[in-house]
């Protein structure tokens, strides 16, 4: 029998190592033999494969788990990857690392693949879980806010001005937008476009603001409807698509994804059926984090629109979190490359572990940030917010008439207003507080001239304030 050359052995070692790398959950000797035969049209005896694996074990490029026929082999290089990623603040699971090794390969080495409808339809709410029980409990503990029992969306409304900037900036950055956070703030608060930036970047951020405001306003609705998702897409895609009629409309033409071997389905009937199934499942998932992650996975995977699919998936993912008064997911401080790779693993492998690692890391950072923001936010008085015009009129009347700053005097003035009876006492207290703290600067807010304010001040010095 002819002696096998070292060159042939080396080639077989490379082939076996590649098979092991592709096996996300480990590969047995029998699986390696089958994959080798499929790839090369010839088989290797199990004893030969065993000898090659022993070489790889000695070289520390693979490790074994178990014994006998149940032994599984895994690539060892993931340890070095994990240490490198951990140093950058990214924590990946073993499955995530193996997926990452598959999607970072050159495009020519990744097999072409199309949409797998069965992956979506196999999902069964309360039986299928993309997030483990431990992961869900961990995220809920991080995301809990003081607003658990308040109306849906209360927490998001309290931090809305901050959320608009953070989420608009960070979500746009995941799409390659080059605006800085300060650029984003200047654009959203003052309408100032950053110099030297493309107009489409400003439009993308402005669209995010509109979509976030819609999401925060939509949380009072009991269910997520098809119209909800279509409206989010319409807001995010405004003035960014070649055909305005495609804003908020399911696509009816093929699309491709640059840098990926994945080709989404081009059949309108399949797109519509899968989209409706996604919405149905979103309303069947009771756990907010599972619902959020499911939206991120399957809206992006289906690609139901001609563009702006991932942005839509990220905003839809925030709906259940905001509805449950949990910290929203802003994506601030995340690694955009890890998001891209996680999404590629969904596209090309129909596996979500790498994107799940990104999701958990992203939420940990968002929750830590928004707890600090929430603690530092001074909450607006709801009476001042609700009855701004009525308070303005009462303060103005008291000052112009030179009236006393007493609750009794104020109550007489508000009897003719439209303030409901249940709010009258608190309204009078707020009006009194505003009068007692009135100064030359704030007086103009109530339409008062300096002479009117000064005359009132003079009269107040002559008659001390009482609060009957």
Q: What are phi and psi of 418, to 5 degrees?
A: -95, 15
Indicate whether 422 and 438 sit together in one domain: yes
Query: Which candidate, 376, 382, 464, 377, places its Cα nearest to that of 429?
Result: 382
Distance CA 56, CA 74 (A): 11
Indicate whether 106 and 166 sit together in one domain: yes
Q: Using DSSP bridges, classify how beta strands 62-65 and 72-75 pair: parallel, antiparallel or unpaired.
A: antiparallel
Per-residue model confidence (pLDDT) at position 380: 67
Query: Which candidate, 68, 78, 77, places its Cα nearest to that of 29?
Result: 68
SS3 328: coil
Indicate whether 182 and 290 sit together in one domain: yes
Indicate whether 345 and 425 sit together in one domain: no
**Does 145 reside within a domain?**
yes
Residue that terminates a domain, selected from 341, 376, 411: 376
Residue that terminates a domain, selected from 350, 376, 402: 376
Residue that terminates a domain, selected from 325, 342, 376: 376
Indicate whether 286 and 420 sit together in one domain: no
Structural domain count of the chain: 3
Indicate whether 259 and 390 sit together in one domain: no
Domain holding 23: CATH number?
1.10.10.10
pTM score: 0.68
pLDDT along the chain (468 residues), means of 10: 70 88 86 91 89 81 83 73 55 83 87 96 96 96 84 86 95 96 93 93 97 90 92 97 95 95 98 98 97 98 98 98 95 93 96 96 92 59 81 86 73 76 83 83 84 83 50
**Does 404 reside within a domain?**
yes
Count other Cβ atoms within 10 Å, centred on residue 439.
8
**Does 97 reside within a domain?**
no
Distance CA 96, CA 294 (A): 17
Q: Are 38 and 61 in contact (CB under 8 A)?
A: no
Indicate whether 40 and 137 sit together in one domain: no
Indicate whether 281 and 193 sit together in one domain: yes
**Does 93 reside within a domain?**
no
Indicate whether 135 and 66 sit together in one domain: no
Per-residue model confidence (pLDDT) at position 151: 84
**Does 89 reside within a domain?**
no
Per-residue model confidence (pLDDT) at position 157: 87
Q: Which domain holds residue 436?
A: 382-462
Domain holding 340: CATH number?
1.10.3290.10
Which pairs count as long-range contacts for 133-137, CB under 8 Å and 24+ apart, including other chains? 135/289, 135/356, 135/360, 136/287, 136/289, 136/290
Indicate whether 264 and 352 sit together in one domain: yes
Per-residue model confidence (pLDDT) at position 74: 87
**Does 443 reside within a domain?**
yes
Indicate whether 404 and 372 sit together in one domain: no
Q: Are 407 and 429 in contact (CB under 8 A)?
A: yes
**Does 91 reside within a domain?**
no
**Does 269 reside within a domain?**
yes
Indicate whether 370 and 389 sit together in one domain: no
Q: Are 350 and 116 in contact (CB under 8 A)?
A: yes
SS (HEC) of 158-209: HCHHHHHHHHHHHHHHCCCCCCCHHHHHHHHHHCCCCCCCCHHHHHHHHHHH
């Amino acid at each position: 029998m002819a002696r096998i050359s070292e060159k042939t052995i080396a080639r077989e070692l490379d082939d076996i190592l590649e098979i092991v790398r592709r096996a996300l959950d480990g590969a047995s000797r029998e699986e390696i033999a089958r994959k080798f035969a499929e790839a090369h049209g010839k088989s290797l005896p199990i004893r030969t494969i065993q000898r090659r694996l022993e070489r790889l074990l000695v070289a520390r490029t693979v490790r074994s788990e178990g014994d006998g026929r149940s032994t599984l082999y895994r690539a060892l290089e993931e340890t070095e990857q994990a240490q490198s990623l951990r140093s950058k603040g990214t924590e990946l699971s073993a499955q995530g690392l193996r997926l990452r090794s598959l999607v970072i390969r050159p495009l020519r080495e990744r097999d072409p693949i199309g949409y797998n409808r069965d992956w979506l339809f196999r999902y069964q709410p309360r039986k299928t879980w993309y997030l483990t029980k431990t992961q869900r409990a961990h995220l809920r503990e991080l995301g809990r806010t003081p607003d658990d029992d308040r109306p849906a969306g209360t927490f998001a409304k309290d931090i809305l001005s901050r959320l608009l900037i953070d989420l608009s900036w960070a979500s746009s950055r995941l799409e390659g937008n080059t605006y800085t956070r300060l650029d984003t703030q200047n654009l959203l608060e003052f309408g100032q476009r950053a110099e030297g930036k493309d107009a489409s970047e400003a439009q993308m951020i402005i669209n995010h603001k509109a979509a976030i405001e819609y999401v925060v306003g939509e949380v009072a609705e009991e269910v997520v409807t098809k119209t909800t998702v279509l409206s989010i897409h319409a807001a995010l895609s405004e003035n960014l698509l070649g055909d305005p009629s495609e804003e908020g409309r399911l696509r009816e033409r093929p699309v491709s994804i640059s840098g990926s071997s994945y080709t989404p389905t081009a059949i309108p009937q399949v797109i519509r059926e899968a989209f409706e199934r996604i919405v149905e499942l979103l309303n069947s998932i009771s756990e907010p984090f599972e619902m959020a992650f499911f939206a991120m996975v399957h809206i992006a995977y289906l690609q139901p629109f001609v563009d702006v699919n991932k942005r839509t998936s990220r905003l839809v993912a925030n709906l259940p979190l905001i509805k449950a008064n949990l910290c929203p997911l802003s994506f601030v401080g995340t690694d955009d490359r890890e998001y891209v790779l996680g999404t590629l693993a969904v596209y090309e492998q129909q596996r979500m572990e790498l994107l799940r690692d990104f999701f958990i890391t992203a939420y940990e950072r968002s929750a830590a940030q928004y707890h600090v923001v929430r603690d530092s936010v001074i909450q607006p008085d709801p009476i001042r917010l609700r009855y701004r015009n009525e308070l303005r009129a009462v303060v103005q009347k008291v000052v112009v008439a030179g009236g006393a700053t007493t609750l009794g005097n104020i109550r007489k003035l508000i009897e003719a207003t439209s303030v409901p009876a249940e709010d009258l006492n608190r309204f009078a207290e707020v009006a009194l507080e505003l009068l007692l703290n009135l100064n030359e600067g704030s007086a103009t807010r109530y339409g008062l001239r300096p002479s009117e304010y000064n005359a009132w001040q003079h009269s107040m010095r002559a008659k001390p304030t009482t609060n009957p």
